[in-house]
Amino acid sequence: MTALSVPPTRAWTLDRVSGLRARPGTVVALAVVAFIVLAALVPGLLTSHSPNAIDLQHSLGKPSLAHPFGTDAAGRDLFTRVVYGTRQSLGIGLGATALAMFIAIVLGFSAGLAGGWVDVVITRVLEVAFAFPVLLLALLLISIRGPSMGTELIAVGIGSAPGYARMVRGQVLNVRESGYVEAAGALGHPRRTVIRRHLFPNAMRPLVAVMTLGVGQSIVWASGLAFLGLGVAPPSPEWGALLDSGRDYITTQWWLEILPGLLIVVVALAVTSLGRTLQHRLEGASR
């Protein structure tokens, strides 16, 4: 009896220990996401400074208790500008991901449900678009419309759409051949009802985690465009614009470039970590 009871107890202990080890990372990621959401919604709770208050007497100040991220060339508190820029950066990330997923749903469901020549045409268009790097497609659109926050959002969204559309099409084809969808059709349910009640929710469920991962990716791409001078222009406190305005001082006042850059990396890692956790949970629930 003792020999038979040891393996289950040991396995349970290892699973419990591994679960405890996984919790701190998720907690930290949730804390980071909660911070950026709070900064986007109520930035005044996190700082008492104004993001546009110029103080030339304290320009290029080092990080201190009064100014945790230091001050920029105009004497503005960098931490305050990062906090107030969260709304723009997070808005671009969420908006670009929503736009990309909307385009992906339209194209992916059209290809997966219609089949035939419609599927062939959409698939070939997606393959051509997917072959181009996202930043290249974004640069093309920005060169036509000009740099702005709206153009940056649209550019990142359109550039991300082909990858999402291919995943949506694959999910639709997979769910369409499932037994419960065929059973619903055999029972005489209208095609629209089958799509709305069975095909759409089951095809989209695994993509919820992918959308979460896309938010962090979109923030990074948008910041990269702004860093190249092709997004929101300074003096906007958008994170990429802060990187753009601080790169001239990277060898002397490193905090102007390093601290906003580290924040972008931390936020992207936190959102990606939550997306992976959500993906594992959804996959476990489906199994």
Domain residue spans in the chain?
72-286
Using CA atoms, how far residue 119 sits from 81, 106, 108, 206, in Å, is 47, 12, 9, 22
Distance CA 116, CA 200 (A): 20
The pLDDT score that the predictor gives to residue 227 is: 82
Distance CA 36, CA 3 (A): 51
Please choose, from the candidates 213, 230, 197, the residue with its C-alpha nearest in 3D space to the C-alpha of residue 271: 213
Strand partners, 10: none
Angle at which helices 255-286 and 207-227 pack, to 10 degrees?
Answer: 170
Neighbouring CB atoms inside 10 A of 21's CB total 9
Strand partners, 71: 77
Distance CA 98, CA 58 (A): 41
- pLDDT per residue rounded down to tens, the chain (287 residues): 444 444 444 443 434 434 434 567 788 889 999 999 999 999 989 988 888 888 888 888 888 888 889 888 888 999 999 999 999 899 989 999 999 999 999 998 888 888 788 889 998 888 888 877 777 777 788 778 777 788 888 888 888 888 888 888 888 888 777 666 667 666 666 777 767 777 777 778 778 778 888 888 888 888 888 887 777 776 788 888 888 888 888 888 888 889 999 999 999 889 888 888 877 776 655 54
| H or E segment and range at residue 220 | helix 207-227
Name the DSSP class of 77: B
* Total number of residues shown for the chain: 287
CATH number for domain 72-286, candidates 2.40.37.20, 1.10.3720.10, 3.30.465.10, 1.20.120.50? 1.10.3720.10
DSSP 3-state helix, strand, coil percentages of the chain (rounded to 5)? 80, 0, 20
Distance CA 242, CA 67 (A): 16
The pLDDT score that the predictor gives to residue 83 is: 93
Rg (alpha carbons) of the chain, rounded to whole number: 24
Distance CA 219, CA 92 (A): 7
pTM of the predicted model as reported, rounded to 2 decimal places: 0.80
Distance CA 141, CA 67 (A): 38
